[in-house]
Amino acid sequence: MSFSKVDYSEIIDALQQNREGEVNELLKELTYRLRDYMRVVLDASQDDREECVQRALTIAYEQIIQGNIKDEKRIFAYLLKICRNEYFTLKKENRRLESLDNHDYEEQDNYEGHFVDPGDQVQNLMDEDRQKILEACLDNLKEEYREFIEYLMERPNISTEDASRHFGISQASMRTRKSRILERLHYCFQRKWNK
């Protein structure tokens, strides 16, 4: 899903004129882009992204309805700023609650530490792409093999002995099956990644 729109000024008119279908489409696009910004730039968790985007949209909605938006062309930048501020407020509140015993207040206000380096932003995007490719490759496996490898992935510290007992096969068969499935996944991943 790739959105290239930067000017969301039409959402203001759509909200004020109760054009629900248009508002819903624009909100879907905006929500995706705001969550993506928070994931890539701020490295925010999924829960934090959901919370902050919801808050930002609520704040912006109230401002739009009250007629307080002066430059409609900059609504997206305004929403990004609200998301960022809400994220810092949320983090500050979480740290305050966590550090009541520690009294470590100096570190609470160090907001620059929350931004992700540009190189890490690219890495975050690549990690998400890799995850999607892996999921697609897992879906291509036979159900029996997919369940087998998912069981092992969910339990990375399981011993070969325990896993072979779970599947009712010998340890040698366990290692062979795991190796063959991983080889298939690796081949599928490399093929899809290099497209």
Give 148-156 contacts, CB < 8 A, sequence gap 24+: 148/177, 148/178, 148/181, 149/178, 149/181, 149/182, 149/185, 152/178
Verdict on whether the full-model pTM lies above 0.85: no
Q: Measuring CA to CA, which residue among 83, 60, 86, 48 is closest to residue 8? A: 60
pLDDT value, residue 168: 93
Q: Do you know the residue count of the chain?
A: 195
Alpha helices in the chain (DSSP H): 10-16, 20-41, 46-65, 75-98, 118-140, 143-154, 160-167, 171-193
pLDDT value, residue 4: 45
Q: Got the DSSP string for 52-88? A: HHHHHHHHHHHHHHTT--S-GGGHHHHHHHHHHHHHH
Domain boundaries, the chain: 10-98, 117-193
pLDDT value, residue 67: 80
Tens-binned pLDDT, residue by residue, of the chain (195 aa): 444 455 678 888 888 888 888 888 888 888 888 998 888 888 888 899 899 999 999 888 888 888 888 777 888 888 888 888 888 888 888 887 776 655 544 444 555 555 556 656 666 666 777 788 888 888 888 998 988 988 888 888 888 899 999 999 998 898 889 888 888 888 888 888 777
DSSP annotation of 117 reads P
pLDDT value, residue 165: 92
What's the distance, Cα to Cα, between the start and end of the chain in Å?
A: 17
Q: Retrieve residue 43's tokens.
A: 């490295």
pLDDT value, residue 2: 42
Q: Retrieve residue 29's tokens.
A: 């696009």
27: CB partners within 8 A, 6+ apart: 11, 57
28: CB partners within 8 A, 6+ apart: none
Contact 53, 35 (CB under 8 A): yes
**What is the CATH architecture assignment of 117-193?**
Orthogonal Bundle (1.10)
